[in-house]
Amino acid sequence: MKKRIAVAAVLAVFLAASTYAQTTRYFVYVTNTAADNISAYAINPSTGKLLTVGGSPFAAGAGPVSIAADPKAKFLCVVNGAVNSVSAYTISPSTGALSAIKGSPFSVGLKPEGITVDPLGKFLYVANDGSGNVSAFAINSTTGELSAVKGSPFAVGKHGSYPTGIAVDPTGTFLYVANWSGNVFAYKIKPSTGALILVNGSPFATGDGPWEIGVTPTGKFLYVTNSESATISAFALKPSTGVLSAVSGSPFATGKSPNGFAVDSAAKFFFVANNGNATVSAYSINPTNGALSAVGGSPFAAGLSPETIAIDPTGKFLYVANNLGNNISAYTINPGTGALSGVGGSPFAAGANPSDVRIVTVTGP
């Protein structure tokens, strides 16, 4: 009997240690464009409050504007818009601190804007607004170092294109680029090399001044914010070909100068930052056809000049980078209605002119 008790006690200690070793943490990263650095925070999982990570802010290149992380949350990459480069970092799983990767920063095209990583963490893509193309890199899974994909950069349309937002579908099969000229270019990703092949029928028309682009976690729908026409273009995505077809009722009206947006992990709600009138518009997503319907109480007040939005993976909290407010607004999301209510202590201080906010899920000791 004593042996059984001893074994049980040892097992309990082992399980407790295993549970501790698998602790999940959520870190928030924000590019401070005018301060040339990155603010890092840990999310309090109960309240949604932001706690500054030790060592934050972390140095970036000049004019950091956007962020992407690999799916395993080992590496973080930041676009430096003023010096045409990408800074790459390793993420500490226990603290969220950032450490520069060997060879960083890596050169890209002119005036880079958007950045994305494929779902397998093999390839990284950057939309270069100034040079009208997409830079493509292979990611070293051990070190995080970037190496250019053969054929990179890949053209986005003819001369005069201005690619801004960029996104990969959840299967990693297709890449989509929002082009300020008023359309979306679609590419098939060659799985062995990361090279891009234009999809038949591309480009697909949007509203005026498309900026941010994203595919829902279900892979069924794609959305684009049209900054100049204050609308959201919605498309159904054909999984076999990558072809886009407009959703009935699209484009959908939003606030002034819509910029970044986010969709919760269940693809139930859609939220967009209205840069021109300091609000966040919230919508419910029709799961069958992708149509958007305004949530009761929408739009919700944000800080000055909201730029981008991020939702934590549990779907409980939403964060907005307020560019001219130099802070981050935090909200709880009503799981039934999608309505937003402020988190205690919000807004949280950021650096000068925060532009992009992203949440990374890390599992570690």
300: Cβ contacts below 8 Å, ≥ 6 apart: 279, 280, 281, 282, 331, 339, 340
Q: How far, in whole angstroms, is CA 97 from its chain's centroid? A: 19
Q: For residue 5, what pLDDT is reported?
A: 40
Q: How far, in whole angstroms, is CA 205 from its chain's centroid? A: 23
CA angle 307-112-135, nearest 5°?
Answer: 130
Q: For residue 356, what pLDDT is reported?
A: 98
Q: For residue 15, what pLDDT is reported?
A: 42
Cα 101 to Cα 87, 142, 311, 356, 362, distances in angstroms: 8, 11, 27, 21, 18
- Rounded Cα distance between 152 and 87, Å, is 18
Q: For residue 364, what pLDDT is reported?
A: 75
Q: Is 28 helix (H, G, I), strand (E, B) or coil?
A: strand
Q: For residue 117, what pLDDT is reported?
A: 98
- Rounded Cα distance between 202 and 182, Å, is 12
Largest CA-CA distance found in the chain, in angstroms, rounded: 80
Q: What are phi and psi of 121, to 5 degrees?
A: 75, 20
Q: What are phi and psi of 313, to 5 degrees?
A: -60, -20
Q: For residue 1, what pLDDT is reported?
A: 38
Find out if CATH 2.40.50.140 is the number for domain 2-364. no
Q: For residue 11, what pLDDT is reported?
A: 40
Ranges of residues in the chain whose predicted pLDDT is under 70: 1-22, 159-160
1: Cβ contacts below 8 Å, ≥ 6 apart: none
Q: Check: CB of residue 63 under 8 Å from CB of residue 112.
A: no
- Rounded Cα distance between 313 and 22, Å, is 16
Residue 321 zone, left/alpha/beta (φ > 0; ψ -120 to 50; rest) = beta
What tokens were used for 325?
């407010």
- Rounded Cα distance between 142 and 196, Å, is 24
Cα 142 to Cα 69, 73, 78, 116, 122, distances in angstroms: 14, 12, 19, 19, 11
